[in-house]
Amino acid sequence: MSTNTDLASMFHTMATILEIKGESGFKVNANTKVARALEDLVEDVASIPDLTSIPGVGKSSATKIQNYLKTGQMIEFEALRNSIPSGLLDVMRVQGLGPKKVRQLWQEADVIDIATLRKAIDDGRLDTLPRMGKKTIENISEALAFVETSGNRTRIGIAMPLAESIIQSLQEQPGITNIAFAGSLRRGKETIGDIDILASTENPMALSDAFCTMNNVAIVQAKGETKCSVRLESGMQVDLRVVDKSKFGAALLYFTGSKEHNIILRERAIKQHKKLNEYELEPSNTSDTEEAIYADLGLPFLPPEIRENRGELLCDQIPNLITLQDIRSDLHCHTTASDGHMSIEELAMHAIARGYHTIAVTDHSQSQGQANGLKPKRLLQHIEAIHTANAAIDAITILAGSEVDILQDGTLDYEDELLAKLDIVVASPHAALSQSSSEATARLLKAIEHPLVHIIGHPTGRIINKRKGLEPDIPALIAAAAQHNTALEINANSYRLDLRDTHLKAAVDGGAMLSINTDSHRPVDFEQLRYGILTGRRGWLTPEKCVNCFTHDKLIAWLRRN
Ligand code: DGT
Ligand code: CA
Ligand code: CA
Ligand code: ZN
């Protein structure tokens, strides 16, 4: 379905560029309309014989779409993109800058990208522009700093604890009846644009005062009884919306999104001659909870993580998505033998405290010099030590494993004879992460097909906001993993979340087994499991498909499958 999304984003971009160029509202709207129509489309656009049958798509747009489907290119899109300085679209990423302001900055202050915007602010060029007050320039400067330093999206591992602590502190306020976070955070996305908090209270003033004076607030951008916006010192933007208690469900549903999910829900309501918006579902009296609204629309409760318009309204039964409680083992962890900070026994104690029946010790292999990877002789001693600890501790099974490097050409970092002595083998790529897609595919396929490999650890090696990682042919990997009964990992660490949600959904649909592991090096790392679970849920993962949810005996049988 990515064609629909790709095309929608192209039409949105064309609308934006036309607006930056000062073209007529009619032209801009026509493109926006097509973009929205493509976003709403349930079936693949390529499967529709007559594109003008899509509401909002006229003859000329249909031709553009057809050409794109045929050639993978859209001449009009390329031409438009080349008609303005390419950096102007980056300037659009600065919070608070829309196409009209960007046009003004471009035409009247020679701003063509992020760098020239900063220069224009610094040399005072903006001070004399009309409709550009001191406060506006300050806000732009603040927002720009965020784009310059951290990109504009925050890892969920940062945003989630932040939102939870904000909610915890606001919960104490007098008169609060409901408070929750919504938005991409509630949907468990790997990165968060801003934090959306929703509350009902009998004392709105007390709540907005408390919110705007939290000690990590850098600037208050808006303060009212129904909406407040602040930017935290970390650069994170947080919005608070206050709604009537009787409408809390409708508002929570709306602000949880995704936008795409809202659109298909609203259409369903319209078909039933009802009206759904951010305030309520009309005409029924069901707006206080999400459950009631879904039920009224003839739907089961849809977990926030799958509200992405990826088929959630179309399936007969929503699968029983994986939860934290389903996890019974962690199969990728490090000790002081390589670059971890726990002994084998400490690792075991943490796993016991979490109620696991099994923990795998998987230290790094020999070529990971900087991580103190184990040479074969040290690995043999380590296996001994792990087996001894396992015999001494009754409450848990400790598996002797390795996180063996998948070398550039797909061979593994130990001989098969040594790998065969291990209870579990997690094979991961660490180096050569910028090789070509076809090389990466061949490399990973070789590891997946290897009879001694159980799990492919963080398959692409990406680091969120920092490193793209490998870009293998994911469907090919999934097919091979399903065939060879090799599990693909969701590395729960919020820097990784690799496999990512969309790949994971394909893996689930493709019949591959998955494994959610924390890759713990320190005790606190175990806490990252929740992000792996959220990602799993976003990929529609059920416990049956996740080896970490197996009973002890089933897991051991799976490990010995070859
Ligand atoms: P983010 O913050 O970029 O990570 O993503 P979200 O999903 O949190 O988006 P945000 O913060 O812009 O808006 C929160 C929710 O509000 C969003 O998920 C759906 C809803 N929403 C926002 N704008 C629109 C809109 O134009 N149409 C509809 N139907 N819903 C919207
Ligand atoms: Ca948001
Ligand atoms: Ca927001
Ligand atoms: Zn690791």
Question: Mind listing the pLDDT tens digit for each residue in 203-232?
Answer: 999 999 999 999 888 889 999 999 999 988
Least Cα distance to 103 among 130, 79, 64, 78 occurs for 130
Ligand 1, residues 189, 196, 198: which to mutate, most atoms within 8 A of Cβ? 196
Distances (CA, A) of 245 to 175, 182, 280: 11, 16, 11
- Decide which of 117, 150, 183 is a domain's last residue: 150
pLDDT band per the 50, 70, 90 thresholds, residue 2:
low
Q: Which ligand 1 atom sits nearest the alpha carbon of residue 194?
A: 2
Please report the atom of ligand 1 found closest to the CA of residue 266.
Answer: 29
- Sign of the alpha-carbon torsion through 63, 64, 67, 68: negative
Pocket test for ligand 1, best of 252, 262, 270 (most atoms within 8 A of CB): 262
pLDDT at 233 over 90: no
Look up the CATH number of the domain holding residue 431: 3.20.20.140
Q: State yes or no: pLDDT of 151 exceeds 70.
A: no
> Are 505 and 372 in the same domain?
yes
Q: Which atom of ligand 1 is found nearest the CA of 262?
A: 29
Residue 427 φ then ψ, to 5°: -110, 125
The amino acid sitting at 126 is: L
Residues 460 and 345 grouped into a single domain: yes
Distance 265 CA to ligand 1 centre (A): 14
Residue 225 to residues 202, 218, 534: CA-CA distances in angstroms? Answer: 11, 20, 33
Q: Atom 8 in ligand 1: which residue has the minimum CA distance?
A: 183
- Cα of 182 vs centre of ligand 3, distance in Å, is 9
Tell whether 437 and 522 lie within a shared domain. yes
Q: Domain check: are 76 and 92 in the same one?
A: no
**Are residue 505 and residue 405 in the same domain, yes or no?**
yes
- Encode burial over 171-208: b for 16+ CB neighbours within 10 A, e otherwise: eebeebebbbbbbbbbbbbbbbbbbbbbbbbeebeebb
- Is residue 237 predicted with pLDDT exceeding 60? yes
Number of structural domains the chain divides into: 5
Residue closest by Cα to atom 21 of ligand 1:
259
State in Å: Cα 239 to ligand 3 middle: 6
Question: What average pLDDT score do residues 439-453 get?
Answer: 98
Does a structural domain hold residue 319? no
Q: How many CB atoms lie within 10 A of CB 299?
A: 14
* Rounded Cα–Cα distance for residues 506 and 486 (Å): 15
Out of 150, 170, 187, pick the residue that ends a domain: 150
Cα–Cα distances in Å, from 562 out to 256, 284, 549, 557? 45, 58, 20, 10
Cα(197) to ligand 3 centroid in Å equals 8
- From 259, 276, 305, mutation site for ligand 1 pocket: most ligand atoms within 8 A of C-beta: 259
Res 3 pLDDT > 80: no
Residue 62 burial by CB count (10 A; 0-12/13-18/19+): exposed, middle or buried? middle
Of 147, 143, 105, whose CA–CA distance to 127 is shortest? Answer: 105
Any residues with Cβ below 6 Å from ligand 1, and which?
A: 183-184, 192-194, 196, 254-255, 257-259, 262-263
Q: Ligand 1: which of 40, 156, 184, 264 to mutate, judged by most atoms within 8 Å of the beta carbon?
A: 184
**Cβ neighbours, 10 Å, residue 153:** 17
Domain of residue 280: give its range.
247-314
Give the phi and the psi of residue 145 in degrees, each rounded to 5.
Answer: -60, -40
pLDDT higher than threshold 50 for residue 1: no
Residues 411 and 474 grouped into a single domain: yes
Compute the distance from residue 183 Cα to the ligand 3 centre, in Å: 7
Distance 460 CA to ligand 3 centre (A): 30
Worst-scoring range by mean pLDDT, 48-62, 92-106, 191-205, 489-503?
A: 92-106
How far does the centroid of ligand 3 lie from the alpha carbon of residue 9, in Å? 20
E-strand stretches of 310-423:
329-330, 358-364, 397-405
CA–CA dist 548, 427 (Å, integer): 17
344: left (phi over 0), alpha (psi -120 to 50) or beta: alpha
Residue type, 417: E
Q: Dihedrals φ, ψ of 302, to 5°?
A: -100, 120
- 324 has pLDDT over 90: yes
pLDDT exceeds 80 at position 270: yes
* Ligand 2 centroid – CA 258 distance (Å): 9
pLDDT category at 539 given cuts 50, 70, 90 is: very high
Q: Whose atoms come closest to the Cα of 304: which ligand?
A: 1
- How confident is the model over 350-396, as pLDDT tens digits? 999 999 999 999 999 999 988 999 999 999 999 999 999 999 999 99
- Are residues 434 and 495 both part of a single domain? yes
Is the pLDDT confidence value at 43 over 90? no
Give the alpha-carbon dihedral of 405, 409, 410, 412, to 10 degrees.
Answer: -40
**Residue 437 included in any domain:** yes
Q: What is the mean pLDDT of the chain?
A: 94
Q: What percent of the chain has pLDDT over 90?
A: 81
Count of CA atoms in the C-beta half-sphere (13 A) of 244: 7
